[in-house]
C-alpha cells in the first residue's frame, strides 16, 4: 500500500505466454478498482477509504485469457475521523477528545501540539481518549488519525484546547512601610487572563485585590498583623492555578503611653511606654533643641539615656520596628537636662597691664559664673559675672595662678572647671653690653627674672635705622651682624609663652668702623710711586693702606685723611691694594681690592737682522719684567717709518725702503705704563738696483717664470724666492728670465733678482710677491652631528685660499653643498641611513685645487614595523622590527604605565625582554645607532603582559534535571586580577548547518557550568584576562554530549508480541527500552539495533532512551502503533538511517592499523561527500571513565591520530558529510595501541 495516496501496488510472477495482465480489486461493499499492464506489477488507484478489497490478476495474450489468480485481500487507507468535542479537566490538566467512527479504523491516535512545541498523544480503539500531561498555559491544536495494520488516515480537522494557566512564579510582596500597603508583583503566568491576590491575616482578617497585570496593591492591611499571600491565575476555563504562599508582616503599631523622667544625681533620663503589636525592637529618639539627637534601642518597653547633652531641652519619642519596617513615631514628651560644666574655658593675659582675662561659652539655664585665682605668694583675686568672661586685675609679675570657674543655676551647681594662668614675667636687671671686635657683634648679659621662660635682647642704633635681636633661655646672648660705625642702645626683655616683660635698663656699645669705600689707585710711571684714595669714613681714627706685589713684597702707608702715597717702588711689579679703617684698636673689614702696576723695566740687547729678499728687518731683544707686549718703531731720515707689535721678543718690521738708514726703537708696555725709555739701534737697508721684475705661474704648475730688464754690466743673475715659511728656491740665468723649479702649492713667494749670489749686492731688484694655486685641502675631519642629522667638516686652512667649496653626495642622489671662506662647514638635514661622499676644493685668485675626498654615514633611519610577541610562561616579550640601513646597534625599551622600564640592546633587528610583570601594559620603542649617533625613538607600540592560557582544563558532563551540563575546571593562572572565560563551539546533531557558539561571563572563579544540547559535538577552550588584556585560548578539549531521545518510535504487532522500532539518535551507541508501570522502571530491552522484540507490550507504559559513553538521554514515551510489520534494523545499517540522509551512504572503512601509540585509518570515499566525521573513543568495556570521545572533521580518505594512550583499545566510527547532509556512522572498528616509542 502507498498510504499517502491510498493506492495499492500489486505484483506477481511472470505467466508463460502472457502479453498483458488485468488486475481487478473489489471491496466487500461493492467498490471496484482495476488496472491493466504489460509489466508484472500494477497500481490500483481510486480506492475507497476504509474498505477491504479482494484482488485477482488475469493473464492475457492476443486470443485468450487465463483463469483469475487466487484472490488475496488488502485494506485501503482508513477514512478520516471527525472530532466532535474536546473537554479540559482543570484539576488533572488533561483533555478528553471525542470523535466519530472512521470506516476501516482498527485504532486511533489523538495528538495535541502547542505552538511552543509541546506534544501530548493518546491511543484508543474507541472513539475517545484522554490527552494527559498537558503543559500549563498552552493552546493545543488537537487532531485524530485513524489507523489499520498498514496505514494511517489523513488527520482530522483541528480543534483547539486551552490548558490550565500556569501557577504564578516569583511572587514577591513588597511592603511600603510609610503607608502600610503591600505591592505584590509576580512573573506573567502563561495562559492567564487575570489574577486574584489573596492575603489571609490573623483574627481571620482578609485582604484581596484583582488585576489583569502582574502587580496588585493590598491597601487595607492592619498594623502588626502577619499575612499569608498567594496569587491565583485565572482564564476562561479554570481558576485553580495558585502560586506558592509568601508571608508578609504588616507595619508594627505605634507605641502608646510614653513617659520620661530625669535623675538629678546622675543626669540620666528614663523613658517607658506600652508594648505595640508587631514590634520586635523599639527605638527611642531624644531630639535636642540645638539639633542634637540621641537614640536608644531596646527589645522591651523601657530605655535609659545616660549621655544626653547638658543644658538642653529634649523632645522624646519612640517607634517600634521589625525586620522590615518601623512604625510611625509616638506622640513626643519634652524634658530639660542638667546644666553643663563650663565649656571652652580659657585664660589669657593682658600683657601691658598684667591683667588676667578668663572666658567660657554661654550656657542655657545658668544664672551666673564665679572665678577665683590663687598665687603661690598667697595673692588671691576673684570676680563674678552673668556674662561669658571676667578680668582679674593687678596680678603679681612672674607668678603661676590656679583658677577655678564655677557655673551656678540656682538649682544644682555643676562641678568646677580648674585651670592655670601665668602672669607677665618680671623685667631683667643689671643689663650690660660689650663689643666683640673680630665678629663685629655685641655680648649682652643680665640677671635672671621671675616667671621668665626665655629672654631676648634688642640693640637699636641711635638714628634708629637699624635694629638687631638675639634670644636665649639663659641670661646672655650675642647681637650679631651689627652695622659698622654705629652706637647701639641695648636693653633686655623676659618672656614666657604669652607675654614679654617691660623693658630693662639700657646699655650702650659702639661698633667697628666701616670698610673704606671707592678705593682708587693711580700709578706714577716715571716716579715709581702709587697714590691711593678713598671716601671719608667718620667713625675711623686713621686708615692703613697695604700693597701686595706679585713677588710678595708688602709696601704700606698710614693716613688720617683720605689719601696715601707709596713711593720708591721697583719697575715691572703688579700690586693688589687694600685699605682698612681703625678706631680704638678695632679694625674695619678690608676694602675691595684695587689692582695697578708700575712701569715695565727698560728692555736690553735690542738687535736687528736685514732680510734682503723682502727688504724687511727682524728685531730681537731680551725679555722685560712687567711687560705684556712690545712696540718696535723704525724711523727713516725723510719721515719714512714702519713698525710692528708683538707679545714675544721677536718682531719683523716690513716694507722698508731700499738703500735707507733706519733708527729702531723698542718699548715695553703693560696695562698701565710704557717703559721709561727704550732700547735703540740703527740699520741700513739693501741698495736699490734692478727694476721691472715680473713673475708668472700656471694653476697646478710647480714652476714660476721670472723676467726682468737686462742690466748692461751684469753677466749672471740669481733669482731667489722666499716662501712665507722662510724656505728658499733659486735659479741662475745670464739672460733676462729664469724659471724657478719645485714651486709648492699654497705658497706666497717674495722674489728678488740680483747680479750675484750676494743677496744684498748693489745690483738687485726690489721684491716681487706671487701666490701659487691652493693645495688639496689637508687634515680633513668629518664629525657627525646627531641632533640635526648632519656633519661638521674641518680642514687645515690654506695661506692662499680665499674660498672653499664642499659637496656631499648621498647614495640616493641627494646633494648638499656649502661655500665658505673659513676652514669649516656644517651640513644639516642629510638623508637618514645614507653613505655620503664628500668632495672639498680650495680656490684662490684664479685657481682651484684638486678635490679632497672623504665619506660619512648619516644617522640611521628611525626603526619601523614594530611587532611584539609576548610569552606568558617566561614573562618575556620578543620585540622585532624592520632592519635599518647603516645601523650597527639597536637600543630598545619597554616602559610600563607605572614607570618601570626594561631595556634590551642587540645588533640584530629583534630583542627579548625578560621580567615582565603580568598585568602591566608596556609601551615599546626602538632606537637605531651607527656607533656614533642614535635615531629618534620609534612610535610607541603598546602591548599588555596578558596571562597565560589556563592549564589542566578538564570537562565533565553531568546531568542536571533533564539536561546535560558541562562543568569545566582549570588551574589558576599565576597572575593577579585574573578573570576567566569559557568558550564552546560545536555542531548540534553533528550537522554543519546547526552551529553552536556559546561562552560564559568573565569571572574570577576557576569553574563554570554551561548546558549543552543533546547529540552535539563540541570543542571547548578557556581564556584568561587581566587589566593588560585577554590572553590566548587554552588547548581545545573536544567531546560529544549524550544523545537525544530516539524519535519516530512505533510498534507493530499486538500486546502479546510486538516489535518496537525507532530512528537512530546521533552519537548513540545503544538503546534501552523500559516499562514504567511500576514504582521503578524496569529494563525490557537493551540493544545497539534500532528495533526490539517485546512481549506483554503496553505502549502507554513504555519509554525508550539512547545512550553513549557520556550518559543516557531523556526518555521518549511518544509511541505510535500498531503499524505494519518492520524488519529488524541495526544501528550501523545505513539503510535504516535514511532519516539522516537518503543520498549519502556510510563510508566503508578499509584499513585501521596501529603503530605504537599512533593509529592510521583509511576508507572508501562517498559520492557527494565533501568531508568526513571521525569519532575516536576508548572501548567501554576497558574504560569506565568519563573521558569524552575525540571528534575530528577530515578532508580526503585517510587520517592519522598520534599520541594515544598506550595499551588501550580504541574504536573508530566514520560518517560522510556535505554542506546539507550527513550519513549514518559506519560500524565501529576497534584496535589496541602498543607501547609508547
Contacts of 246 (CB under 8 A, 6+ apart): 171, 172, 173, 228, 229, 230
Q: Is residue 1139 part of a domain?
A: no
Which residues on adjacent β-strands are paired with residue 229?
A: 199, 246
Give yes or no: residues 370 and 385 share one domain: yes
Q: Are strands 1047-1053 and 1119-1123 parallel, antiparallel or unpaired?
A: parallel
Give dist(CA 243, CA 233) in Å, integer.
8
Give yes or no: residues 555 and 591 share one domain: yes
Peptide bond into 717 cis (omega under 30): no
Give yes or no: residues 722 and 767 share one domain: yes
Q: Is residue 2 part of a domain?
A: no
Report H helices in 1091-1203: none
- What pLDDT, in 10s, does the model give residues 130-154? 999 999 989 999 999 999 988 999 9
Final residue of a structural domain among 663, 683, 703: 683
The owner of cell 476501516 is 104
Contacts of 698 (CB under 8 A, 6+ apart): none
Q: Is residue 504 part of a domain?
A: yes
The pLDDT assigned to 758 comes to 45
With beta carbons less than 8 A apart as the criterion, state whether 116 and 135 touch.
yes
Q: Is residue 873 part of a domain?
A: yes
The pLDDT assigned to 428 comes to 92
Give the CA distances from residue 194 to residues 173, 215, 216, 233, in Å, rounded to whole numbers and listed in that order.
18, 11, 11, 6
The pLDDT assigned to 1156 comes to 87
Give yes or no: residues 530 and 575 share one domain: yes
Give dist(CA 208, CA 216) in Å, integer.
9
Structural domain harbouring 916: 867-944
Give yes or no: residues 904 and 965 share one domain: no
Give dist(CA 781, CA 6) in Å, integer.
111
Which phi and psi (to 5°) does residue 180 adopt? 60, 35
| CA atoms within a 13 Å half-sphere pointing along the CA-CB vector of 224 | 14
With beta carbons less than 8 A apart as the criterion, state whether 23 and 45 touch.
no
Final residue of a structural domain among 857, 884, 899: 857
With beta carbons less than 8 A apart as the criterion, state whether 221 and 278 touch.
no
Comparing C-alpha atoms, which of 808, 795, 818 is closest to residue 855?
808
Give dist(CA 199, CA 218) in Å, integer.
8
Which residues on adjacent β-strands are paired with residue 1061?
A: 1050, 1091
Give dist(CA 989, CA 1064) in Å, integer.
11
pTM of the model: 0.38
Q: Residue 354: which region, alpha, beta or left (left: phi > 0; alpha: psi -120 to 50)? A: left
Q: What is the SS3 assignment for 1134?
A: helix
With beta carbons less than 8 A apart as the criterion, state whether 347 and 358 touch.
yes
| CA atoms within a 13 Å half-sphere pointing along the CA-CB vector of 1223 | 28
Which residues on adjacent β-strands are paired with residue 388?
A: none
Which phi and psi (to 5°) does residue 870 adopt? -85, 150
- Cα four-point dihedral sign 941, 942, 947, 953: negative
Q: Is residue 194 part of a domain?
A: yes
With beta carbons less than 8 A apart as the criterion, state whether 46 and 93 touch.
no
Give yes or no: residues 231 and 198 share one domain: yes
- Cα four-point dihedral sign 882, 883, 887, 889: positive
- What pLDDT, in 10s, does the model give residues 1080-1114? 889 999 988 888 999 888 888 999 999 998 889 99
Question: Residues in the chain with pLDDT < 70?
Answer: 290, 409-415, 613-614, 686-691, 711-715, 756-764, 1124-1143, 1180-1188, 1237
Q: Is residue 1143 part of a domain?
A: no
Give dist(CA 830, CA 791) in Å, integer.
8
Q: Count how many domains the chain has.
A: 14
Peptide bond into 950 cis (omega under 30): no
Give yes or no: residues 1063 and 1104 share one domain: yes
Give yes or no: residues 369 and 411 share one domain: yes
Contacts of 998 (CB under 8 A, 6+ apart): 983, 984, 1010, 1012
Give dist(CA 1031, CA 981) in Å, integer.
10
Give me 12's grid cell. Answer: 506477481
Final residue of a structural domain among 911, 944, 977: 944
The owner of cell 518510535 is 1049
Q: Where are the beta strands (DSSP E) in 995-1147?
A: 995-999, 1007-1012, 1016-1026, 1029-1030, 1037-1040, 1047-1053, 1057-1063, 1070-1075, 1082-1087, 1091-1095, 1102-1107, 1119-1123
Q: Is residue 1164 part of a domain?
A: yes
Q: Is residue 837 part of a domain?
A: yes
Give me 688's grid cell. Answer: 736699490
Give yes or no: residues 364 and 412 share one domain: yes
Give yes or no: residues 245 and 277 share one domain: no
Give dist(CA 1003, CA 225) in Å, integer.
44
Comparing C-alpha atoms, which of 719, 759, 768 is closest to residue 739?
719
Give dist(CA 888, CA 1168) in Å, integer.
60
Give dist(CA 587, CA 594) in Å, integer.
19
Give dist(CA 102, CA 82) in Å, integer.
8
Give yes or no: residues 434 and 506 share one domain: yes
Give yes or no: residues 1057 and 1113 share one domain: yes
Q: Are strands 429-436 and 417-422 parallel, antiparallel or unpaired?
A: unpaired
With beta carbons less than 8 A apart as the criterion, state whether 713 and 741 touch.
no
929: CATH: 2.60.40.10
Contacts of 663 (CB under 8 A, 6+ apart): 634, 635, 680, 681, 682
With beta carbons less than 8 A apart as the criterion, state whether 494 and 451 touch.
yes
Q: Residue 851: which region, alpha, beta or left (left: phi > 0; alpha: psi -120 to 50)? A: beta
C-beta pairs of 433-436 under 8 Å, 24+ apart in sequence: 433/457, 433/459, 433/479, 433/488, 433/490, 433/507, 433/508, 433/509, 434/509, 435/509, 435/510, 435/511, 435/512, 435/586, 436/478
Q: Residue 572: which region, alpha, beta or left (left: phi > 0; alpha: psi -120 to 50)? A: left
Amino acid at each position: 500500500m502507498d498510504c499517502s495516496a491510498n493506492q495499492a501496488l500489486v505484483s506477481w510472477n511472470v505467466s508463460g505466454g502472457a502479453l498483458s495482465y488485468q488486475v481487478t480489486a473489489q471491496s466487500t461493499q461493492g467498490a471496484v478498482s482495476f488496472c491493466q499492464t504489460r509489466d508484472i506489477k500494477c497500481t490500483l488507484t481510486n480506492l475507497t477509504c476504509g474498505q477491504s478489497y479482494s484482488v485477482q490478476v488475469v493473464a492475457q495474450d492476443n486470443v485468450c485469457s487465463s483463469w483469475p489468480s487466487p484472490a488475496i485481500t488488502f485494506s485501503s487507507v482508513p477514512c478520516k475521523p471527525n472530532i466532535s468535542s474536546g473537554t479540559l479537566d482543570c484539576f488533572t490538566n488533561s483533555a478528553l477528545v471525542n470523535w466519530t467512527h472512521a470506516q476501516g479504523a482498527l485504532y486511533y491516535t489523538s495528538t495535541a501540539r502547542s505552538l511552543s512545541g509541546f506534544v501530548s498523544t493518546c491511543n484508543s480503539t474507541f472513539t475517545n481518549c484522554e490527552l494527559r500531561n498537558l503543559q500549563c498555559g498552552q493552546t493545543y491544536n488537537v487532531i485524530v488519525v485513524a489507523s489499520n495494520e498498514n496505514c494511517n488516515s489523513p488527520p482530522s480537522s483541528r480543534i483547539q484546547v486551552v490548558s490550565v494557566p500556569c501557577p504564578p512564579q516569583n511572587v514577591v510582596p513588597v511592603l511600603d512601610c510609610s503607608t502600610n500597603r503591600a505591592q505584590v508583583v509576580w512573573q506573567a503566568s502563561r495562559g492567564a487572563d487575570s489574577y486574584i491576590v489573596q492575603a489571609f491575616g490573623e483574627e481571620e482578617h482578609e485582604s484581596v485585590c484583582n488585576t489583569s497585570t502582574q502587580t496588585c496593591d493590598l491597601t487595607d492591611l492592619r498594623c502588626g498583623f502577619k499575612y499569608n499571600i498567594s496569587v491565583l491565575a485565572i482564564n476562561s476555563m479554570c481558576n485553580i492555578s495558585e502560586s506558592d504562599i509568601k508571608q508578609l508582616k504588616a507595619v508594627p503599631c505605634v507605641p502608646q503611653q510614653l513617659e520620661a523622667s530625669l535623675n538629678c544625681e546622675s543626669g540620666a533620663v528614663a523613658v517607658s511606654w506600652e508594648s505595640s503589636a508587631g514590634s520586635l525592637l523599639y527605638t527611642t529618639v531624644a531630639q535636642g533643641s540645638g539639633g542634637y539627637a540621641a537614640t536608644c534601642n531596646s527589645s522591651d518597653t523601657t530605655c535609659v539615656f545616660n549621655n544626653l547633652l547638658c543644658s538642653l531641652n529634649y523632645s522624646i519619642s519612640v517607634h517600634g520596628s521589625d525586620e522590615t519596617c518601623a512604625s510611625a513615631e509616638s506622640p513626643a514628651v519634652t524634658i530639660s537636662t542638667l546644666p553643663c560644666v563650663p565649656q571652652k574655658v580659657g585664660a589669657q593675659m593682658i600683657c601691658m597691664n598684667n591683667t588676667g582675662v578668663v572666658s567660657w561659652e554661654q550656657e542655657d539655664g545658668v544664672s551666673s559664673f564665679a572665678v577665683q585665682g590663687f598665687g603661690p605668694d598667697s595673692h588671691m583675686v576673684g570676680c563674678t559675672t552673668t556674662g561669658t568672661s571676667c578680668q582679674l586685675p593687678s596680678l603679681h609679675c612672674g607668678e603661676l595662678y590656679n583658677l577655678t570657674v564655677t557655673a551656678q543655676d540656682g538649682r544644682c551647681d555643676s562641678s568646677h572647671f580648674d585651670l592655670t594662668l601665668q602672669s607677665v614675667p618680671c623685667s631683667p636687671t643689671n643689663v650690660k653690653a660689650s663689643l666683640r671686635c673680630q665678629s663685629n657683634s655685641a655680648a649682652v648679659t643680665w640677671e635672671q627674672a621671675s616667671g621668665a621662660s626665655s629672654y631676648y635682647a634688642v640693640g637699636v642704633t641711635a638714628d634708629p635705622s637699624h635694629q638687631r635681636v638675639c634670644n636665649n633661655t639663659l641670661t646672655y646672648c650675642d647681637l650679631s651682624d651689627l652695622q659698622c660705625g654705629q652706637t647701639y642702645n641695648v636693653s633686655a626683655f623676659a618672656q614666657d609663652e604669652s607675654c614679654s616683660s617691660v623693658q630693662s635698663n639700657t646699655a650702650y656699645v659702639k661698633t667697628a668702623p666701616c670698610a673704606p669705600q671707592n678705593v682708587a689707585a693711580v700709578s706714577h710711571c716715571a716716579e715709581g710711586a702709587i697714590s691711593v684714595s678713598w671716601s671719608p669714613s667718620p667713625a675711623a681714627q686713621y686708615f692703613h693702606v697695604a700693597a701686595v706685589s706679585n713677588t710678595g713684597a708688602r709696601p704700606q702707608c698710614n693716613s688720617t685723611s683720605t689719601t696715601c702715597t707709596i713711593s720708591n717702588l721697583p719697575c715691572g711689579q703688579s700690586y693688589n691694594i687694600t685699605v682698612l679703617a681703625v678706631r680704638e684698636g678695632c679694625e674695619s673689614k678690608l676694602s675691595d681690592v684695587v689692582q695697578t702696576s708700575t712701569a715695565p723695566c727698560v728692555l736690553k740687547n735690542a738687535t736687528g737682522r736685514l732680510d734682503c729678499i723682502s727688504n724687511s728687518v727682524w728685531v730681537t731683544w731680551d725679555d722685560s719684567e712687567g711687560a705684556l707686549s712690545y712696540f718696535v718703531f723704525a724711523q727713516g731720515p725723510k719721515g719714512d717709518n714702519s713698525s710692528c707689535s708683538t707679545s714675544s721678543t721677536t718682531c719683523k718690521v716690513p716694507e722698508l725702503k731700499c738703500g735707507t738708514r733706519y733708527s729702531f726703537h723698542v718699548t715695553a708696555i703693560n696695562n698701565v705704563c710704557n717703559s721709561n725709555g727704550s732700547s735703540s739701534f740703527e740699520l741700513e737697508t739693501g741698495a736699490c738696483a734692478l727694476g721691472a721684475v715680473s713673475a708668472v705661474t700656471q694653476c697646478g704648475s710647480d714652476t714660476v717664470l721670472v723676467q726682468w730688464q737686462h742690466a748692461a754690466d751684469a753677466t749672471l743673475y740669481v733669482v731667489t724666492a722666499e716662501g712665507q715659511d722662510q724656505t728658499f728656491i733659486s735659479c741662475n740665468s745670464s739672460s733676462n728670465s729664469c724659471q724657478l723649479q719645485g714651486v709648492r702649492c699654497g705658497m706666497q713667494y717674495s722674489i728678488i733678482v740680483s747680479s750675484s749670489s750676494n743677496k744684498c749686492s748693489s745690483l738687485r731688484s726690489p721684491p716681487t710677491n706671487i701666490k701659487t694655486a691652493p693645495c688639496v685641502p689637508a687634515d680633513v675631519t668629518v664629525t657627525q652631528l646627531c641632533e640635526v642629522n648632519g656633519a661638521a667638516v674641518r680642514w687645515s686652512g690654506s695661506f692662499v685660499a680665499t674660498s672653499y667649496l664642499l659637496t656631499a653626495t648621498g647614495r640616493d642622489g641627494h646633494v648638499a653643498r656649502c661655500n665658505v671662506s673659513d676652514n669649516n662647514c656644517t651640513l644639516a638635514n642629510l638623508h637618514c641611513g645614507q653613505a655620503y661622499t664628500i668632495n672639498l676644493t680650495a680656490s684662490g685668485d684664479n685657481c682651484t685645487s684638486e678635490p679632497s675626498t672623504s665619506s660619512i654615514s648619516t644617522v640611521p633611519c628611525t626603526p619601523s614595523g614594530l611587532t611584539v610577541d609576548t610569552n606568558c610562561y617566561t614573562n618575556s616579550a620578543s620585540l622585532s622590527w624592520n632592519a635599518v640601513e647603516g645601523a650597527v646597534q639597536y637600543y630598545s625599551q619597554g616602559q610600563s604605565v607605572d614607570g618601570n622600564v626594561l631595556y634590551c640592546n642587540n645588533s640584530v633587528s629583534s630583542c627579548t625582554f625578560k621580567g615582565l610583570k603580568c598585568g602591566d601594559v608596556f609601551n615599546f620603542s626602538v632606537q637605531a645607532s651607527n656607533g656614533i649617533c642614535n635615531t629618534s625613538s620609534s612610535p610607541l607600540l603598546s602591548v599588555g603582559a596578558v596571562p597565560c592560557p589556563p592549564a589542566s582544563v578538564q570537562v565533565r558532563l553531568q546531568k542536571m534535571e533533564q539536561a546535560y551540563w558541562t562543568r569545566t575546571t582549570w588551574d589558576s593562572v599565576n597572575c593577579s586580577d585574573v578573570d576567566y572565560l569559557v568558550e564552546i563551539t560545536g555542531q548540534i546533531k553533528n550537522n554543519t548547518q546547526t552551529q553552536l557558539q556559546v561562552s560564559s561571563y568573565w569571572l574570577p572563579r576557576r569553574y563554570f557550568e554551561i548546558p549543552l544540547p543533546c547529540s552535539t559535538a563540541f570543542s571547548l577552550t578557556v581564556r584568561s584576562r587581566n587589566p593588560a588584556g585577554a590572553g590566548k585560548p587554552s588547548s581545545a578539549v573536544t567531546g560529544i554530549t549524550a544523545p537525544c531521545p530516539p524519535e519516530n518510535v512505533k510498534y507493530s504487532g499486538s500486546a502479546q508480541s510486538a516489535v518496537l522500532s525507532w530512528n537512530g539518535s546521533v552519537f548513540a551507541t545503544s538503546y534501552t527500552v523500559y516499562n514504567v508501570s511500576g514504582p521503578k522502571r524496569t529494563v525490557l530491552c537493551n540493544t545497539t539495533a534500532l528495533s526490539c522484540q517485546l512481549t506483554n507490550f503496553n505502549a502507554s507504559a513504555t519509554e525508550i532512551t539512547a545512550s553513549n559513553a557520556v550518559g543516557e538521554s531523556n526518555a521518549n514515551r511518544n509511541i505510535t502503533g500498531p503499524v505494519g510489520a518492520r524488519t529488524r534494523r541495526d544501528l550501523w545499517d545505513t539503510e535504516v538511517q535514511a532519516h539522516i540522509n537518503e543520498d549519502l551512504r556510510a563510508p566503508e572503512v578499509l584499513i585501521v592499523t596501529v603503530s605504537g601509540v599512533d593509529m592510521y585509518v583509511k576508507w572508501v570515499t562517498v559520492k557527494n561527500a565533501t568531508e568526513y566525521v571521525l569519532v575516536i573513543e576508548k572501548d567501554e568495556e576497558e574504560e569506565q571513565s568519563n573521558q569524552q570521545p575525540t571528534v575530528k572533521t577530515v578532508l580526503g580518505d585517510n587520517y592519522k591520530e598520534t599520541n594515544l594512550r598506550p595499551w588501550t583499545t580504541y574504536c573508530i566510527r566514520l560518517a560522510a558529510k556535505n554542506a546539507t547532509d550527513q550519513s549514518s556512522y559506519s560500524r565501529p572498528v576497534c584496535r589496541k595501541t602498543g607501547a609508547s616509542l
